[in-house]
Amino acid sequence: MPDWAALLTEQQNPASEQIDEVSTLEMLTIINGEDQLVPLAVSKELPHIAQAVELVSHAFGQGGRLFYLGAGTSGRLGILDASECPPTFRVPHEQVQGLIAGGKSAVFSAVEGAEDDPKGAVGQLQEQRLSDLDIVMGIAASGVTPYVLGGLDHARSVGCSTIFFTCSPGKTLPSVDIQIAPRVGPEVLTGSTRLKAGTATKLVLNMITTGAMIRCGKTYGNLMVDLHPSNKKLIDRSQRILSTLTDLELEEAQQVLSQAAGDLKIALVISLCDVSPDRARALLSAHRGSVKKAISGSATP
């Protein structure tokens, strides 16, 4: 049984002890001041986050998947990050997945007690048929969530690489490949980890998947060239990116995208290398989907 009172996330914040007695503006100033501490805390964990990015990008290159495990806010943030990867980077929905204590219904309504079951994640992970190519990342602001710790134990038994995120570092942290533990300090409302800890979680998950996708060739500079044009905004963005990188007029860009069946990366290689759609696909395939490498490779006999 953990010593809950000793957890950093359970400590009382002296900056907000009188938060119910001040004006609304003063209240928000206190909250905002505490929020500004979060990026600084996360910055101190950048070496560990970089290790996570390298681990995840390597796994993706080998056909592996990334699974987030979390309860409550942590679980929902994992699901949020996972759900945004397919439309942003045109990856399969199964490549990044978020699992939450209590199952899908817990995304919208809290399932009380689900986080206390150390076997709760085991069945969920078994359904995914984990292999040693996969990575499981546990997210537990408190650092002691049984659902998360039990899931990490199972992942290690399968041979998966493991990452652990917490905002309450201490001696009881699990044995994993990479630990990310920003010290964001006590919450404005004692124990309410949807606040600073939740913000830190979102920042870190953003960096891990974005960094891994960049390493996997999903961007050209800071442009998302592997997006899935599933709505009018993204169709327009694809046309504008192609036009920007090739100097084509928007109408011409639309025509090239049509030749490429809407695939922006193929359209870019067609335009920049002056090759057929089939040749563009072959070049991208030979260079693991990297547009810049495919362009360089096109000059090789």
Identify which of 264, 269, 290, 268 has the alpha carbon closest to the alpha carbon of residue 279: 269
Q: Which two tokens stand for residue 69?
A: 């495990």
The answer to whether 127 is a known catalytic residue is no
The CATH number assigned to the domain holding 226 equals: 1.10.8.1080
Catalytic residue among 10, 54, 84, 252: 84
What pLDDT does residue 230 have? 84
The whole-number pLDDT of residue 136 equals: 98
Does residue 112 have an active-site annotation?
no
How far from 265 is each of 14, 86, 192, 232, CA to CA, in Å? 52, 15, 43, 18
Determine contact, residues 142/193, Cβ cutoff 8 Å. yes
Domain boundary among 189, 215, 241: 215
φ, ψ at 69 (rounded to 5°): -120, 130
Residue by residue, pLDDT tens for the chain (301 residues) are: 667 778 888 899 999 999 999 999 999 999 999 999 999 999 999 999 999 999 999 999 999 999 999 999 999 999 999 999 998 898 999 999 999 999 999 999 888 789 989 999 999 999 999 999 999 999 999 999 999 999 999 999 999 999 999 999 876 778 999 999 999 999 999 999 999 999 999 999 999 999 999 999 999 999 999 988 889 999 999 999 999 999 899 999 999 999 999 999 999 999 999 999 999 999 999 998 899 999 987 765 4
Cα Rg of the chain, angstroms: 22
Give the residue from 103, 105, 95, 137 showing the smallest Cα distance to 120. 103
In a shared domain, residues 111 and 243: no
Chain CA centroid to CA 279, Å = 33
Residues 206, 224 within the same domain: no
DSSP string for 126-186: HHTT--TT-EEEEE-TTS--HHHHHHHHHHHHHT-EEEEE-SS--TT----SEEE-----S
Q: Which of 26, 45, 54, 115 is catalytic?
A: 115
- Tell which of 215, 241, 260 closes a domain: 215
- Do 146 and 275 belong together in one domain? no
CATH number at residue 199: 3.40.50.10490
Same domain, 195 and 268: no
| Domain-terminating residue out of 163, 188, 215 | 215
**Pick from 235, 221, 213: nearest CA to 288:** 213
Q: Identify whether residues 199 and 69 lie together within a single domain.
A: yes
The residue segments making up the domain with residue 254 are 219-297
Q: Are 155 and 228 within one domain?
A: no
Q: Are residues 291 and 183 part of one domain?
A: no
3-state SS string over 17-73?
Answer: CCCCCCCHHHHHHHHHHHHCHHHHHHHCCHHHHHHHHHHHHHHHHCCCCEEEEECCH
**Per the structure block, which two tokens stand in for 67?**
């699974």
